[in-house]
Amino acid sequence: MRTVYVNGEYLPENEAKISIFDRGFLMADGVYEVTSVLDGKLIDFDGHAKRLERSLNELDMPHPAVLPDLLDVHRELVRLNGIEEGMIYLQITRGAPDDRDFAFPDPATTTPTVVLFTQNKPGLANNPVAQKGIKVISIEDQRWARRDIKTVQLLYPSMGKMMAKAAGADDAWMVEDGAVTEGTSNNAYIVKGNTIITRNLGNEILHGITRAAVLRFAREAQMQVEERSFTIAEAQGADEAFITSASTFVMPVVEIDGAAIGTGTPGPIAARLREIYLEESRKVAV
């Protein structure tokens, strides 16, 4: 049984409780982060912590008192649960007022809710799926306009995952005004020649922490990076495609809407970027 963290307490998971009036439950009024653990250490923790603060600020959500101590909390959960490879999920909501109301509660009387739990995933770094790649379908992007804020509003991405599953694919790339925004839980890329192409940052996509690191490593390796929109047709004609996220690192995409990408097998650039990301991230893990 896992030990989880709820509002300052480390508890067995079956004893963890929050109020039925919590705004994360009633309004999806919350933000979250997911940090990978490799070799018992946290990957890209500083990036996740900074994005968390940005999400809180963008939603005018009070910063919980525990915020400066989150690294210690993460490390303690890794220790208590014996995680060598896996994930830590963190969620902060606006808290639980006395009753349901559309208006934000008074922060002087309603403190944020803070929840963390671990997921043990042995073999995360050596995921065999990376050797064969994944298949994606395209769907219309019907999410709200502020996708740059990492909120818990995940119903449509969940529906997208189910659409992909029903179509015999692994994930979905969302399309808006004819251009790919991102995957259901990841950033999307194509490769043409030696150039990596990915959507430029804006309110339309999540500012991925893994994305930032991978693009930095790509430039250091003398690969060309072009941040711009691209279409599904352009992706289908690319040499390679891949996704990045905290849980998949760099994952090759070998098929989009039934069309094979390149040779239909993982390409060398995606494979090299995955190798570089894992090697360099482990060096600075905390």
DSSP 68: G
Q: Which residue has the tokens 């004819």?
A: 178
Distances (CA, A) of 178 to 17, 230, 231, 233, 274: 43, 8, 6, 10, 29
**Rounded Cα gap, residues 117 and 78, in angstroms:** 9
DSSP 73: H
Instruction: List the Cα angle 213/218/224 in 5-degree steps.
Output: 135
Q: Is 74 left (phi over 0), alpha (psi -120 to 50) or beta?
A: alpha
Q: Which residues are catalytic?
A: 150
Element (H, E) at 242: strand 240-245
What residue type is 171 in one-letter code? D
Residue 18, phi then psi, degrees to nearest 5: -130, 165
Residue 211, phi then psi, degrees to nearest 5: -55, -50
Which pair of structure tokens corresponds to residue 170? 């692994």
Within 10 angstroms of residue 92's Cβ, the number of other Cβ atoms is: 27
CA dihedral 124, 127, 133, 139 (to 10 degrees): -30
